[in-house]
Every structure is written in C-alpha cells, then in structure tokens.
Amino acid sequence: MTQSALTDSLRHLDLRRFREVSLLVAGDFMLDEYIWGRVGRISPEAPVVVVRVERETRTLGGAGNVVHNLAALGAKAAVLGLTGRDRPAEHLREKLTALGVDAGGLFADPDRQTTRKTRVVGEQQQVVRIDRETPLPGGPEYVRFALDFARARLPGVQGLILSDYAKGALPPELAPELIRLARERHLPVVVDPKGRNWRRYAGATVLTPNQKELEEVLGRPLGEAAELAARGQELRARLNVACLLVTQGARGMTLLDEAGALHLPARTPREVFDVSGAGDTVAAVLSLGLALGLPLPQAAALANTAAGVVVTKRGTAPILPGELERELTGYVHREEKVVSLRDLRFILAHLKAQGKRVVFTNGCFDLLHVGHVKFLEDARRLGDVLVVALDSDASVRQVKGEGRPILDQEQRQRLLAALAAVDYVTLFDSAELPRILAELKPDVLAKGSNYPEEQVAGREVVEAYGGEVRLVPIREDISVSGILHQIRNG
C-alpha cells in the first residue's frame, strides 16, 4: 500500500466520528509564552536590543499541544500531568478549560516550577527564549495520584497517549504502570518517546520517535532504509511494541510492524513555515485513527497527511477538520477562506497567539457593491486579519424582510471570499452575534458609520473583554436598496 492508496481508502472516513472519541493524554504539559513588541534601539546597558512590549500571548505546548490537536478535531481529552503551584499553572488550566478539557488531572507540586518557554519577539523576529522548569522526575506522591487518576479515567476512554518531553511527568516507575493499565483494557497506547531509556515504554502499541531520537537510542546513525528497518525491527521486538512509527521530517515516516516496513512519503507542502509541533499532531491523529478502529497503515497515513498540513502554518498550530477533509477528498469544493464557525475558533486563537490583530465585521453583503468593498478594505486596515461573519439566508430574511436576500448565502460567501481584503468568511445568524463575539474575542469589531456607535450590536460584549468598536466611514451615496430602486424604476 502506498500513501496515496491509503489516503484514497480514507476518502469516506466521516471525520465527525472524532467527536465520539475520548482519549487520556499523560505527559509533560508546558506553557508557551510569547512577548511581542517593537525594537526601538540598542540598550545603553549592554549590546542588546530594547523591545518595547505591545502584547503577550500564551499557548499550550508539549502534551498540551497534543490535546490542542485532539480538541481541534472535536475529540474529548482527559489530561494527566505535573505542574508547579504558580501562575503559569493557572494559565495552563485556563487554556485547557477553554478547550473544554477537564484539567483536574494536573498535579500541582509546590516544589516545582511549571515548565514554561517564553519567547521575546521584536518586529516578528525572535530575540531570545527563556526556559523555566524543574528538571526532576515527579515524586512518589505524584505517582500515586497519577495511578489513581488513570484507574478512574481509563474506563471512559478509547486510548492512551504518553507525550514524553522528559520534564518529569512520566518517571520510570509510572510509564510502565500506565501502559499496563491501558493494555489490560485493550486500549491502544501511543507513545511519543524521549531520552535513552525506552524500556519503560515496553508493551505499548506504537512508539513515534523521529529518526534522530531512534538513532540516539540505538547509538548509531541509520543510513539506508534497509538498515532503519532491520535495526528498528530488532528494537521493536525487544520492547514488545506492535509498531514503531519513525517520523522523518520532510521525508515522511516509516512504519515498522510485524508485516514489515512501510515508507509513507510526506505530503509536498506548498511552503513549510514551522515544523515544530508536527510530532504532536502525529501522536494525536494516529491515536484518533486507532481509537476509531482504523488499521495501523491507515491511521499512520492519516497522521502523515495531517502533519504535512500543520508544517505550513506559522508557529505551533493544530490540524482542523476542514483542512483534513480537504486533503482527504482532494476536492476543493469551497474557497479556503470559507470556514465553519467551529474551525474559526481555532484559527483565530492561533492567529492571536501569533501576535496578529483580528478585525471582525458582520453583515448581509447582499449584491456586493463598491461601497462594501471600500468598507471591507478600510476595516482590514484596522488590523492584520479580517473576518466577515455573513448572515445566513434565514438571518437576512429576518433582518431585511421577505424578498431578501437577492443572492443566496453560497453566492454571497464566494463573492466575499474573492476579495483580497477578506481573510475569512463564516456563516452565522444575527441572533447569535453576542455569543460568537464572546467566543472569538476579536480585537476590533468594525461597523459602517451609518450605525450610531451605541447601536452597534455586540458592543457591550466586545468592550467587556477589552476589545474595541470602530466605526468606518462609509459612502452614503451607494446602497443595495438604492441599486434595487434604480433597477426597478428602469
């Protein structure tokens, strides 16, 4: 089987089935912090730049990024890990809770620091990274907690992921027990391994090292495919794991199981931006595939496809259902800018974590005219990304009355998506606006100046979370009703 034959066989996989899956993710949860600012001058104190801070953002890293990928695909996750008792641990909990994940399995140890990477970025260039962590394995109290937690949660999940970054959450006395407990229940166990001692992963279903990690464990470089297969199979047998899935960056991955070796080439990306986090996507998507009962080669091909997409995004980003579906069906039935509200949540969170300023506007945009185009261009200039929430046909009928819209929602979406000023279009119903704004938290809500500011729907919501409402001057001399009037009266 080749990668393309395998993805072909996945064409009809219903990705909504991910929503029925629940997984336990145990491992090293980390907080990725970004401090964004402008570089003004060289410091008088030392030969370094001075960054004037404009905003700070945070995202989930390590095992947290695995959970982020699962949540983005609609699956449920329970987490098990170790933090300090500090502010960063609270941020981790908040981020997980925002994904609908119960953070109750994070054990707060007052003697530890939560693992945290802080990046200072000046003018979109990383200036320095500051790492904070406690490089010690979790102690006996944590191990006891973890085993109790796993015993309580494993009956409710369809698989276990161990996301090991060697930061202490999977000490040698814990990992084997977790694997044993999961295997007792016949659950698939996927391990993203770290370090030299892989004995502790014995009995797992799949190990997903990258080639370099595998070479370090074997103590030698693996030149040719035949050598990788031979040495890998020996290790697989020694560790009694069903499969070794060796990821190979731009070359893709090689699956080693009892059937032999199968190489799956990487998807050829249009442009590679950031490969960090691709390994987390592999662990998440592979586990979802196995939880749905896909055979190993299919689950691996799905993971390979997903990872090939996330490397095209700046920063660590999860894979979205819409993207995976587009890859599998190979059929671009819609503009890439047209997205579901659900996917938009993850897209905007990611853009904001990248320091982007998000502008949001909503409307009917029936019979697109030059007044609309100018408004959208002006709105786009208020930030870096413009999102248009487009009233559905039902919503337009409610707002404008029977006989409208003239153009149906499909056509209106396509027209908006064709504009350079518009980055994303999503369908919505006017009545939902406050809830959508509260969820997406755009930096700016833009409306035409034909609305008095106090009448802008959603204004209170936006101001409550610290966003701003901006009125954009519009051309009074052109309107849809004016055009309609002109047509009707010849």
Beta-ladder partners of 117? 32, 131
Per-residue tokens: 152: 């309580």
CB atoms under 10 Å from CB of 454, counted, come to 8
For ligand ATP, the binding residue among 249, 274, 451, 483 (CB under 6 A) is 249
Stretch 197-216: interaction string toward ligand ATP, x if CB under 6 A: -------------x------
Nearer residue to ligand ATP within complex by CB, 330 or 473 = 330
Under the criterion CB under 6 A, does residue 280 sit at the interface with ligand ATP?
A: yes
Q: How far is the CB of 209 from ligand ATP (least distance, A)?
A: 7
- Catalytic residue status for 111: no
Under the criterion CB under 6 A, does residue 60 sit at the interface with ligand ATP?
A: no
Question: For residue 171, what are the contacts with CB-CB under 8 A and spacing of at least 6?
Answer: 137, 138, 143
DSSP per-residue string spanning 239-285? HT-SEEEEE-GGG-EEEEETTEEEEEPPP--S-----TTHHHHHHHH
Per-residue tokens: 372: 């609309």
Under the criterion CB under 6 A, does residue 307 sit at the interface with ligand ATP?
A: yes
Q: What CA–CA distance (Å, rounded) separates 248 from 363?
A: 46
Q: How far is the CB of 396 from ligand ATP (least distance, A)?
A: 42
For ligand ATP, the binding residue among 122, 279, 315, 383 (CB under 6 A) is 279
Residue number with the shortest CB distance to Mg ion? 279
Residue number with the shortest CB distance to ligand ATP? 279
8 Å CB contact between 22 and 161: no
Query: Which range in 45-53, 117-125, 223-231, 274-282 contacts ligand ATP by CB under 6 A?
Result: 274-282
Under the criterion CB under 6 A, does residue 163 sit at the interface with ligand ATP?
A: no
Q: What is the pairing mode between strands 206-207 and 424-428?
A: unpaired
For ligand ATP, the binding residue among 202, 272, 457, 471 (CB under 6 A) is 272
Under the criterion CB under 6 A, does residue 361 sit at the interface with ligand ATP?
A: no
Written in H, E and C, the secondary structure of 343-357 is HHHHHHHHHHHCCCC
Q: What is the pairing mode between strands 160-163 and 125-132?
A: unpaired
CB atoms under 10 Å from CB of 420, counted, come to 9
Q: What CA–CA distance (Å, rounded) separates 145 from 159?
A: 20
For ligand ATP, the binding residue among 51, 235, 253, 347 (CB under 6 A) is 253
For Mg ion, the binding residue among 61, 74, 279, 467 (CB under 5 A) is 279
Q: What CA–CA distance (Å, rounded) separates 424 from 387?
A: 5
Q: What is the pairing mode between strands 125-132 and 116-122?
A: antiparallel
Stretch 228-267: interaction string toward Mg ion, x if CB under 5 A: ----------------------------------------
Q: How far is the CB of 214 from ligand ATP (least distance, A)?
A: 10
Q: What is the DSSP letter of 200?
A: G
Q: Which of 257, 280, 391, 443 is catalytic?
A: 280
Under the criterion CB under 5 A, does residue 61 sit at the interface with Mg ion?
A: no
Under the criterion CB under 6 A, does residue 311 sit at the interface with ligand ATP?
A: yes
How many residues belong to the chain? 490
Q: How far is the CB of 287 from Mg ion (least distance, A)?
A: 14
Under the criterion CB under 6 A, does residue 409 sit at the interface with ligand ATP?
A: no
Per-residue tokens: 344: 């938009």
Which residues carry out catalysis?
A: 280
State the residues that interact with ligand ATP by CB under 6 A: 210, 247-250, 252-253, 266-267, 269, 272, 275-280, 282, 304, 307-308, 311
